[in-house]
A and B are shown apart, each in its own frame.
Chain A
Amino acid sequence: MPVVDLAVTSRRELNAALHALAADTRETQWRVENPMGQHALAVGLDAAVAVEIAGHAGYYCAGMNQRATVVIHGNAGVGVAENMISGKVHVKGDASQAAGATAHGGLLVIDGDASARCGISMKGVDIVVKGSIGPMSAFMAQSGALVVLGDAGDALGDSIYEARLYVRGAVKSLGADCVEKPIGPEHAQQLRRLLDAAGVSGVEPSEFRRYGSARGLYTFHVDNAAAY
């Protein structure tokens, strides 16, 4: 298992080594020590490898991730897993602002809280936050699901498109064009799948409320629903 100590190896060397991995690499378990809050750790990965980051990470950790699994054993700075395409990013601590911003796919799990603008402009990613999320989360969220076991801050889902928001706790306020919607069987199923994927047990889909777009702000035509 390659171990990269960032006290002696530069971040660029780390990222270059991870980028150089072939799709069929046998070096699939990586460990990064002494991250010391450095920015852009393990960004742009495109191989089915697992990277463990042993401490707090700075901005944009695991950004643009494809196929890899990145686990941060600490807090993550602004924009963790931003623009993720696929794979999994797991933050064991709290995440700062704009976690999972613009991400197209994959799963982002945050064990602690996420700050403001979690899931801003999300485009298909699934995000599970075991704590609470800050204000302006899921702003202009287009697709994917945001599951929150705790509370949500002000203006949840402002100007939302077709993402699904599930919150178990209190929502301080809903943003423009975001409304509560009923939880149907397909939603309960989706919640169950995401809770399982995030390793959450003892929590039932029925404990959540669902929020989504009132479709009053954007030009939505039900005939095109399959395209969203």
Chain B
Amino acid sequence: MCGIVGLFLKDAALEPQLGGLVAGMLTVMSDRGPDSAGFAIYGDGCPDQLKLTVRGADLEGVAAALGPIIAGLVRDTHLVLTLPAVEEARVRAWLATQRPDLAVTGAGQRIELYKEVGLPGAVAERFGLAQMSGTHAIGHTRMATESAVTTAGAHPFSTGADQCLVHNGSLSNHRSLRRKLEPQGIAFSTDNDSEVAAGYLTWRLREGASLSEALESSLTDLDGFFTFVVGTENGFAVLRDPIACKPAVMAETDQYVAFGSEYRALVGLPGIETARVFEPEPARVYAWERH
């Protein structure tokens, strides 16, 4: 099953409410995915700085050990490190050698990425999602099929800077695709099929494709059933497989574009009564960008 939610704001006035709105959407999708939940949120950031979201235990003191120019914010089992972009290699090397128990879940100028096992509402609460602000966010509630119920198997997956993907469905050719992507330098940290889809898009974007083009080609290269919602630093996109196995509904107003696995997830959004509510067509890429 699984549930997906996404909210992409057009109106900056709503930015302080982003986390609260998405927390509500995630909670409603609990019965589609009670195993685990996760979300990526695009908040503040500046061009010469990088945010690394790190997951694990004993997070207090990590930022301090990295030196005074690194800021750290601990939220439950996750730590967001904010560092000068030029420090990325040093920080990653330090984490790999000094704290190999920690996993980097997301990296980019603005992305923060949280995931945990448990009911979606509880996961949102643990990380204080309702208090977060930002321009767009994507969330997922998971009912596991292809790999175990672990935090690492929870969505979203991020395989490139400021990129993330959530997936409802399952892929059949993820093993062979993984073997093609790994020699291209795309690194995977789990056995999850959805992470391979994220890696595939990262590879296509790196090769110069636009987000729309990358998704377009995934219709040929990915075998399986899927509804994807994808986030980039300034973009938000949706794609369903050609026979539209998995449910999807969208709503658009002057203030936002919203995605839900079911309309119920969108009920709490402002102005939903008069929003244009529609079902995205199979095999058609829907993409929005902020300029």
A74 CB contacts on chain B under 8 angstroms? 277
Q: CB distance B243 to A116 under 8 Å?
A: yes
Q: CB distance B282 to A36 under 8 Å?
A: no
A37 CB contacts on chain B under 8 angstroms? 262-264, 266-267
**CA A77 to CA B277, docked complex, whole Å:** 11
**Proximity string of chain A (74-112) to chain B, C-beta cutoff 8 Å, 1 when within and 0 when not:** 110110000000000000011011000000000000000
B74 within 8 A of A: no
Q: CB distance A115 to B244 under 8 Å?
A: yes
Looking at the assembled complex, report how far the CB atom of A172 sits from the nearest CB atom of chain B, in whole angstroms. 12
**CA A116 to CA B227, docked complex, whole Å:** 15
Report A6-60 residues with CB < 8 Å from chain B CB.
Answer: 36-38, 55-56, 58-59
Q: CB distance B282 to A96 under 8 Å?
A: no
**CA A93 to CA B278, docked complex, whole Å:** 10
B249 within 8 A of A: yes
Whether A134 touches B262, Cβ cut-off 8 Å, given contacts A36-B267, A56-B277, is no
Q: CB distance A77 to B282 under 8 Å?
A: no
Q: CB distance B263 to A77 under 8 Å?
A: yes
B279 within 8 A of A: yes
**CA A77 to CA B214, docked complex, whole Å:** 29
Q: CB distance A116 to B267 under 8 Å?
A: no
B247 within 8 A of A: yes
**Taking CB as reference atom, which chain B residue is nearest A37?**
B263
Q: CB distance A75 to B263 under 8 Å?
A: yes
**CA A135 to CA B264, docked complex, whole Å:** 25
A128 within 8 A of B: no
Q: CB distance B264 to A36 under 8 Å?
A: yes
Q: CB distance B278 to A38 under 8 Å?
A: no
**CA A134 to CA B263, docked complex, whole Å:** 19
Looking at the assembled complex, report how far the CB atom of A170 sits from the nearest CB atom of chain B, in whole angstroms. 15
Q: CB distance B244 to A97 under 8 Å?
A: yes
Q: CB distance B277 to A96 under 8 Å?
A: no
Q: CB distance A94 to B278 under 8 Å?
A: yes
**CA A111 to CA B116, docked complex, whole Å:** 43
B277 CB contacts on chain A under 8 angstroms? 56, 74-75, 93-94
Q: CB distance A135 to B247 under 8 Å?
A: no
Q: CB distance B247 to A96 under 8 Å?
A: yes
B15 CB contacts on chain A under 8 angstroms? none
B281 within 8 A of A: yes
Q: CB distance B243 to A136 under 8 Å?
A: yes
**Taking CB as reference atom, which chain A residue is nearest B263?**
A37
**Proximity string of chain A (143-177) to chain B, C-beta cutoff 8 Å, 1 when within and 0 when not:** 00000000000000000000000000000000000
**Taking CB as reference atom, which chain B residue is nearest A135?**
B282
**CA A94 to CA B281, docked complex, whole Å:** 13
Partner of A115, one of B264, B267, B273, B279: B279
Q: CB distance A56 to B244 under 8 Å?
A: no
Q: CB distance A94 to B263 under 8 Å?
A: no
Looking at the assembled complex, report how far the CB atom of B25 sits from the nearest CB atom of chain A, in whole angstroms. 12
**CA A167 to CA B161, docked complex, whole Å:** 48
**Taking CB as reference atom, which chain B residue is nearest A96?**
B279
Q: CB distance A58 to B244 under 8 Å?
A: no
Looking at the assembled complex, report how far the CB atom of A41 sits from the nearest CB atom of chain B, in whole angstroms. 12
**Taking CB as reference atom, which chain A residue is nearest B267?**
A36
Q: CB distance A116 to B278 under 8 Å?
A: no
Report B246-291 residues with CB < 8 Å from chain A CB.
Answer: 247, 249, 262-264, 266-267, 273, 277-279, 281-282
Q: CB distance A94 to B279 under 8 Å?
A: yes
Looking at the assembled complex, report how far the CB atom of B260 sits from the nearest CB atom of chain A, in whole angstroms. 9
Q: CB distance A58 to B282 under 8 Å?
A: no
Q: CB distance A56 to B279 under 8 Å?
A: no
**CA A75 to CA B279, docked complex, whole Å:** 10
**CA A75 to CA B244, docked complex, whole Å:** 18
**CA A115 to CA B249, docked complex, whole Å:** 11
Looking at the assembled complex, report how far the CB atom of B225 sits from the nearest CB atom of chain A, in whole angstroms. 13
**Proximity string of chain B (219-257) to chain A, C-beta cutoff 8 Å, 1 when within and 0 when not:** 000000000000000000000001110010100000000
Sample of 4 further A-B pairs with CB below 8 A, known A37-B264, A75-B249, A94-B278 = A36-B264, A77-B262, A78-B247, A97-B279
Of all A-B residue pairs in the complex, the 3 with the closest CB atoms, nearest first, are A37-B263, A37-B264, A36-B267
